[in-house]
Amino acid sequence: MRDAQDAKGKSPSGVGKAHPALKAFMCGSLSGTCSTLLFQPLDLVKTRLQTIQNNMLPGSPRVGMVKVFINVIRTEKVFGLWKGVSPSFVRCIPGVGIYFSTFYSLKQHFFPEHAPNAGQAVLLGAGARAVAGVCMLPVTVIKTRFESGQYDYRSVFGALRSVYKLEGPRALFSGLTATLLRDAPFSGIYVMFYSQTKKSLPQEVTSSAYAPLVNFSCGVLAGVMASLVTQPADVVKTHIQVSPHLYRRTRDAIHFIYTEQGLRGFFRGAVPRSLRRTLMAAMAWTVYEQLMARMGLKS
């Protein structure tokens, strides 16, 4: 009887024997793969919106999200919307896995018996995202450059090698401060709103057959709030990573954006980024929690 139960609880691939943190890594990587493929066009449009202003003449009419979207399809065909998807995969598949495995490990270490409160949730999310962000920053730099359309890289690893040889290792970590100022608060705020919203719902709702829809809805709400707060840091990060030779320090990029575009410049690309980050995070957390539940682990 016990042998039968053991066999039932373990998959043939041996996933059931894996360490819980490794399971969290695998669940996170799978959720990151799905969300990256679906929402890459929004990330590309966001990057183009944030960098296009530098190439426009004074007095030129404003360019919006729809116009950029149509222009990409005209000049680069439909698949041009997925330009940069290769570095996105290279970054997100391990990156999301690192994030969720770090988040799970921190949560199990510091809060094994109870759910974290709002402040603790912020620290958990921010800490996990900081680890993942630093680990994957070189690929993030390449991804941003792919999406900008200003570089003619042929492959992710070729681009990494080119930047390292021509610009030095420091260029691969350009925008580190802005990236951490964007990603750590985003994740911290997201986890806080997500966990607290779920906690406020009745137990019968969160454990019902509609749990995936409930999780996704909570994720959308959390994503909108987190995206708006961290949008300025995303604009600064994009400028530094696309044109690192123009900005020696983060404050140089901040000064340039404010001087050229005013406060509005810090919110360029806010709509596509909010859509992408909100939907991507909501999907990633929904898939992650469902997979963890199927493996018998509490996320």
Compute CA 76 distance to the chain's CA centroid, rounded to the nearest angstrom.
Answer: 25
33-54 residue pLDDT tens: 888 888 888 888 888 887 776 5
Output the pLDDT for position 166.
92
Is this prediction's pTM over 0.85?
no
Which of these, 173, 174, 181, lies nearest to 234 by C-alpha position?
A: 181
CATH of 19-294, one of 3.40.50.300, 1.10.10.10, 3.40.50.980, 1.50.40.10: 1.50.40.10
pLDDT above 70: percentage of residues in the chain: 90
Question: Is residue 219 predicted with pLDDT exceeding 50?
Answer: yes
* Residue appearing with tokens 């199990």: 108
In this structure, the number of other CB atoms found within 10 A of the CB of residue 55 comes to: 9
Domain-wise residue ranges, the chain: 19-294
Arithmetic mean of pLDDT over the chain: 84
Query: How far is residue 102's CA from residue 24's CA, in Å, rounded to a whole number?
Result: 9
Query: How far is residue 222's CA from residue 283's CA, in Å, rounded to a whole number?
Result: 12
Reported as a pLDDT band with limits 50, 70 and 90, residue 123 is very high
Query: How far is residue 211's CA from residue 244's CA, in Å, rounded to a whole number?
Result: 44
245-281 residue pLDDT tens: 888 889 999 999 999 889 988 998 888 888 888 888 8
Query: How far is residue 200's CA from residue 183's CA, in Å, rounded to a whole number?
Result: 26
Residues in CB range of 134: below 8 A, 6 or more apart: 176, 180
